Amino acid sequence: MPPPDDANGGTGNTGLTGKFVGANRFAQCHPELHTEWSSTLHAGALDTLEGIGQDSNAQCIGCHTVGFGQVGGFVDRAATNALAGVQCENCHGAGGDHVNDSDTVKPIIDIPVDVCGACHQGAHHPNVEQWLESKHSQINEAVAADLLEGGDFVNNCGLCHSGDVFYRINVRGEMVEPDAFVGRPYSGQLRYLYYYALVDGSQGVHNPDYVRSILETAEDLLPNLGL
C-alpha cells in the first residue's frame, strides 16, 4: 500500500502505521465525497482547536482528529498530520484493511446515532440530547417490524421513518430495494441502525448545505406536527 497522503498539506506522517490512512487516501476512489467533506467544518476541526490554543487538550483532541488514543491513530502534527481533523474514518471506521482489500473488507455504512453522539453531546454540542428529546428518537415498533419485513412499505413509509431510506431517496435519488432491511439484526433498538434524527448523520458530513436547507424547512413544519 502506498503511504497515506496528508489531509492538511504537511509532511509529518512518519507515525502512520497503516491502520488509519487519512482522507486523501480515500479521495483516490471517492473524489466527490472528499471534495464535499473538504468544505465542512469537520475538515478543519483541529485548526479550530489550534485557533483557541486547545490543540494540546486531551479532552478535546479526540473529537477533532482521527483515532486519537487508539493504536495507529493521531498523535500530533509532526508524526500523524494526515489524521488531523474529523475525517471518513471517524464515522466509517479505520480504513487500512479496506484499502488493502477493498473487495472483501467493507467500511461501516450505516452510521448509528451513537457514533455522532460520541462528540456531539454535552454543553458544547447538545445535538444528541436535543434529538433524544424529540419524537424522532422514538421507535414505532410496528413500523420497525414492517421495515424489516420488506415490501412496498419500505419506500412509502420508510421515507419518514428511516434515516437510510430518507438518505437514499432524497440525496442519492434512488429507490430502496423492498428487501433492503430483511435479515438485519433487530433487538428492539432499531434506532441504533436506522433512525439518525431528521436525516442520516453521514449526509450532514458530505453535504451540509443540503441538510441545512432541510432543517430550515423543518423548523416551519415540525411545530404544526407536534414534533
In the chain, what are the domain boundaries? 23-108, 127-225
Measured in whole angstroms, the distance separating CA 74 from the mean position of its chain's CA atoms is: 18
> Comparing C-alpha atoms, which of 71, 65, 7 is closest to residue 38?
7
Distance of alpha carbon 93 from alpha carbon 66, whole angstroms: 10
Which grid cell is 139? Answer: 421507535
The pLDDT value given to residue 87: 96
Average pLDDT score, the chain: 79
Any idea which architecture 23-108 has in CATH?
A: Orthogonal Bundle (1.10)
What lies within 8 Å, CB to CB, of 29 at 6+ separation is 102
Average pLDDT rounded to a whole number, residues 47-74: 96
Assessment of whether the complete model's pTM goes beyond 0.95: no
Higher per-residue confidence, 155 vs 94? 94
Instruction: Tell me the β-bridge partners of 84.
Output: 65
Average pLDDT rounded to a whole number, residues 54-64: 95
The pLDDT value given to residue 9: 47
Name the one residue in this structure whose C-alpha cell is 471534495: 35
Average pLDDT rounded to a whole number, residues 11-18: 89
Among 72-76, 168-172, 221-225, the range scoring the smallest mean pLDDT is: 221-225
Average pLDDT rounded to a whole number, residues 122-137: 82
The pLDDT value given to residue 99: 95
Cα–Cα distances in angstroms (integers) from residue 225 to residues 82, 129, 136, in the given order: 45, 20, 12
Q: pLDDT-based confidence at 188, cuts 50/70/90?
A: very low
Q: pLDDT-based confidence at 206, cuts 50/70/90?
A: low
Which grid cell is 155? Answer: 419506500
- Do residues 25 and 92 touch, judged by C-beta distance below 8 A? no
